[in-house]
């Protein structure tokens, strides 16, 4: 059973560009959450998708947007990249049908903005 | 708002030493509490959790007790190994399905 997978592993972009990161949830999971982890910091919640809709959102600007597909996979899009967007982006999946709804994390995509 | 405070690292110990990593939280209501571990180059793995006051979470020799009176969830292990070297994150969640709020992480280095 594959866990949460993310692509690409690493990405280098320049300021002002746009980027799309992808996540496939663990089998049986229907909810996807995205987190940003800056170097030396804890992960910060960006948003969560369930039933193809954004259900919760953290304190991130509108440059950060997402999408969830019918197969529960998800994309994170960031427009007009800033140097400060350089971070490890983590995807976590969970099942709405489980009592404690544990989140399982992928290995992350490391984004470098030059 | 909700927040988690962890002791700053790095924490450097010799193999077989006793480990304590302090974690306190601020939140309304009765959050669930978690410890996650991040090994070099990897994502986060759930280490243990506790969902209500006085619960003790345990896994792989690590333990943490949910203390509502002191709003704490300190991580302990009686005898660390070199393979325990990683970054440890304390986190809270207000309700099932809700976002996780993380501390800044504590790096542990264990010397042979």
Residue from B8, B42, B43, B46 to probe the interface with A (highest A Cβ count within 10 Å): B43
* Strand (E) or helix (H) holding A109: strand A109-113
Confidence class of residue A15 from pLDDT cuts 50, 70 and 90? Answer: very high
Residue contact A33–B105, C-beta within 8 A: no
In our burial notation (b when 16+ CB lie closer than 10 A, e otherwise), range A81-110 reads: beeebbbbbbbbbbbeeeeebbbbbbbbbb
Q: What is the pLDDT of residues B72-106, one digit of tens each?
A: 999 999 999 999 999 999 999 987 778 999 999 99
Which two structure tokens, joined as six digits, stand for B40? 């070099």
Is residue A22 classed as helix, strand or coil in its secondary structure?
strand
Beta strands B62-65; B56-59: pairing state: antiparallel
Please answer yes or no on whether B99 and A99 come within 8 Å at the CB atom: no
Q: pLDDT digit string (tens) for A19-33?
A: 999 999 999 999 999
Q: Cα separation of A44 and A55, whole Å? A: 16
Q: Of the candidates A17, A27, A26, A21, which has an alpha carbon nearest to the alpha carbon of residue A8?
A: A21
- Check if B89 contacts A (Cβ < 8 Å): yes
**Which pLDDT score, from 0 to 100, does residue B95 have?**
79
Contacts of B103 in chain A (CB under 8 A): 42
What number of other Cβ atoms are within 10 A of residue A2's Cβ? 8
A-B contacts (CB, under 8 Å)? 56
pLDDT for position A1: 65
């Amino acid at each position: 059973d594959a866990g949460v997978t993310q692509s690409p592993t690493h990405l280098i972009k320049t300021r002002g560009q746009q980027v799309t990161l992808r996540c496939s949830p663990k089998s049986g999971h229907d909810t996807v959450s995205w987190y940003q982890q800056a170097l030396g910091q804890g992960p910060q919640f960006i948003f969560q998708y369930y039933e193809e809709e954004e259900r919760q959102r953290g304190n991130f600007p509108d440059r950060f947007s997402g999408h969830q597909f019918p197969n529960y996979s998800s994309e994170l899009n960031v427009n007009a990249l800033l140097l400060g967007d350089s971070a490890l982006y983590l995807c976590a999946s969970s099942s709405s049908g489980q009592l404690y709804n544990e989140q399982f994390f992928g290995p992350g995509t490391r984004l470098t903005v030059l | 708002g909700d927040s988690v405070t962890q002791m700053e690292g790095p924490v450097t110990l010799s193999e077989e030493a006793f480990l304590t990593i302090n974690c306190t939280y601020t939140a309304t209501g009765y959050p669930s509490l978690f410890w996650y571990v991040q090994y070099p180059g990897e994502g986060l793995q759930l280490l243990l959790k506790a969902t209500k006051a006085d619960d003790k979470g345990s896994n792989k020799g690590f333990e943490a007790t949910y203390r509502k009176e002191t709003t704490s969830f300190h991580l302990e292990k009686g005898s660390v190994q070199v393979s325990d070297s990683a970054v440890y994150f304390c986190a809270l969640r207000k309700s099932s399905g809700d976002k996780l709020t993380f501390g800044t992480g504590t790096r542990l280095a264990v010397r042979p």
